[in-house]
Structure 1
């Protein structure tokens, strides 16, 4: 047992140090460091060092934990002064834009590949969310207009919430049992309640941290991050959107005058980097190169539909009321970065036994 632990610590620490060093290397080459982390996972996986990992449920659990930390850091570092002017546009992109993207990708997969409508829409839902880790890690290193950066960061912080709910809904056997408007009302209820829980936890945490006399400065960052995790858990317990609660609580706490505020932000930034590294390496481990041949054609069709149809249309429809120019819309269309979130979301139907998962045809479950 001790020997296995020692080997695991050796491999884990080596991967972590290589991943940290890869940030500088990837920056010089102009490549996203997240791709390096994914490649590291593949290199130590079954196609490389031979470490076999195929536990979809564990991946989903750890992936959700990583996303909570990443979204919390995004909320804590978001400035309300730059977020407020784009909040309505970001909320529209995260809801209306997501719906447009799901329908467009689903329609293309249904018409081109002949997939069942429900499975096609499930693929569209899995691919519809921009990735907070990719957006935060990439855009913050570029010199871009603050309005566009704030919009993309806010969108990536908020759109996980409706997408997770839709993927879970499409993955369950109870989908379609109720009229569409009832499903829509349930989705709106969970989003609204999630935002309310995040606001409540954020304000309560702001009041507590502002008045607490903790004996060590290092306890404040732990408490701040703990509050964002509490927001997620509290929302999940009452069947609300935990991811939206995390982001809202993070924004409230990040814009408060808290003791040791810079230490809090630095700690959250470090945790977010660790979560990104761990998440992408884990997803690289989950990859089975030997089973990718059958997925190439659907992936290309879905990718083309997403990049050249779904994302531009979702941006066009969502930004019409907000006075964005043609160049801004083109940039927003191209900067809808995808990353780990679709892979994590794919583990939801995978662990639920939905058709279309590896080793299962689209007709393998008559009850689905």
Structure 2
């Protein structure tokens, strides 16, 4: 075996140290998920704290290159959008696609203008920088919302709205930030705003069409020629979503919207090994989130952050109390959304990784006097996540939103049985579910569906038609693909309305509080 060159040996020695740090960070990050769920704090804050602890003010790891951070951030966002598309049910978000699309476009513009005008007068910034700052902070992070609300389910319409908005709003915000940064840069192209908006519309529509085409065509190809290994198949599916980004970006359309649309199509094509694909996609998404937030924590410098505390509070308050509510009101009123649901959407507009990543764009494009934006956005994300996230469960109860949630009492997860064209649906009976006391035959499941197992107090048994369900029970329901959706809808109806669901008109519960 040939001897290693000195430089190679040095790299090998460093490899062990980096692997040690990386493995410890990964394990601590995984353990942090349980802490975040217990404390009601989004995991992003814990990951950011880990990055700061490793940085120059902690263990001394120096990372101060915004250009590399932007590249790595974009790469992580591609994988996060892929996971979001693969795990999103089209039937769940279909009623919310139109309002979410309007909120992600017109709503973003309203938010940018309100923040831009406000900070121009309150902080004395130039118009270009003010509007640029408004665009950077206008993207929401629904992953942070659901990390808090995993145990406080939302109505299907609101959940679909947040899921769809999270998939749609990244693409237009990225285009807007890049356009504003280029307009403000001395050497950047200076086009009319009519041209900029026309180009943005072209890129969004073109990216969506490319994602739709690649997802459908390659998804059908994968379905007919899938390998026997679920692991290889999962890699291929994620590869198609990444290909959508590259193909769309290569022809100067939006790669982010292409990735999400492609993954959404793939996730709803009833591909083989669907459980493995979803599990792999979630694992990749978690890994991308961990790496992204830890990297952003490394990029932050606590000494500089304190200087931006005051401006961050001003921008954050304008965003939370004025810009986000106005953007929701301007878009959701067209769809006659109740004001209490609009109020929830306004408060649930948490900021996360995307604004911090986008804050590096002006620096890489050479926009003058914008180096401080990254520090301001970092402080804003941390402070207002701490303010908004812990209060979201309380807000949902005060607004009476939890009362109308059909998924409050039933946690349903489906795993396909490919060869039988069937699903196994897992149902958990919650504390307030009206499934309690219902006998199996009273569920009146459609033909092709049957309860095959009940797990009670850790013991499993095969039920009879006269077995009564109890709070805390977990059920396995085997159903054909044809009646899967109907079966889930029926179980949720009984959970909400009781054994007489379907025999009498549904009665709306009065709002809490």
Q: Could you say which residue in structure 2 is the equivalent of 1:161?
A: 171
Tell me which protein shows more strand as a share of its residues.
Answer: 2
Q: Could you say which residue in structure 1 is the equivalent of 2:510?
A: none
Q: Partners of 1:123 and 1:57 in 2: how far apart? A: 18
CA contact (8 A) 2:36 2:43 kept: yes
Q: Partners of 2:232 and 2:251 in 1: how far apart? A: 28
Which residue among 133, 143, 162 is the counterpart of 1:123?
Answer: 133
Aligned-partner SS, 2:64:
coil
Aligned pair 1:42/2:52, yes or no?
Answer: yes
Q: Please report the TM-score for the alignment, with normalisation by the length of structure 1.
A: 0.95
Q: Could you say which residue in structure 2 is the equivalent of 1:301?
A: 314
Which residue among 89, 104, 126 is the counterpart of 1:94?
Answer: 104
Alpha-carbon offset, residue 257 of structure 1: 1.4
Which residue among 80, 84, 107 is the counterpart of 2:117?
Answer: 107
Q: Please report the TM-score for the alignment, with normalisation by the length of structure 2.
A: 0.68
Alpha-carbon offset, residue 146 of structure 1: 1.7
User: What 5-or-longer segments of structure 1 have no aligned partner?
Assistant: 361-368
- Once the two structures are superposed, residues 315-357 of structure 1 have per-residue CA deviations (whole angstroms, 9 ceiling, x without a partner) of 0001011111011000000011111110000111122222233
CA contact (8 A) 1:135 1:153 kept: no
Aligned-partner SS, 2:360:
helix
Aligned-partner SS, 2:359:
helix
Higher relative contact order (CA closer than 8 Å, sequence separation 6+): 1
Over 3 Å counting, the alpha-carbon distance change for 1:135 and 1:153 in structure 2 is farther
Q: Could you say which residue in structure 2 is the equivalent of 1:78?
A: 88
Q: Partners of 1:350 and 1:149 in 2: how far apart? A: 35
User: What 5-or-longer segments of structure 2 have no aligned partner?
Assistant: 1-10, 374-513
Aligned pair 1:273/2:283, yes or no?
Answer: no
Alpha-carbon offset, residue 177 of structure 1: 2.8
Q: Could you say which residue in structure 2 is the equivalent of 1:33?
A: 43
Answer with 1 or 2: which has the greater Rg.
Answer: 2
Tell me which protein shows more helix as a share of its residues.
Answer: 1
Aligned-partner SS, 2:202:
helix
CA contact (8 A) 1:231 1:242 kept: yes
Which 4+ residue blocks in structure 1 deviate beyond 6 angstroms? none
Q: How does 1:104-253 map to 2 (within 5 A)?
A: 104-172=114-182, 173=185, 177-253=190-266
Alpha-carbon offset, residue 136 of structure 1: 4.8
Q: Could you say which residue in structure 1 is the equivalent of 2:407?
A: none
- Once the two structures are superposed, residues 105-137 of structure 1 have per-residue CA deviations (whole angstroms, 9 ceiling, x without a partner) of 101110111111110000000000012542454
- The size of the alignment, in residue pairs, is 360
Aligned pair 1:14/2:24, yes or no?
Answer: yes
Over 3 Å counting, the alpha-carbon distance change for 1:288 and 1:313 in structure 2 is same
Over 3 Å counting, the alpha-carbon distance change for 1:267 and 1:141 in structure 2 is farther
Over 3 Å counting, the alpha-carbon distance change for 1:213 and 1:75 in structure 2 is closer
Q: Partners of 1:217 and 1:75 in 2: how far apart? A: 19
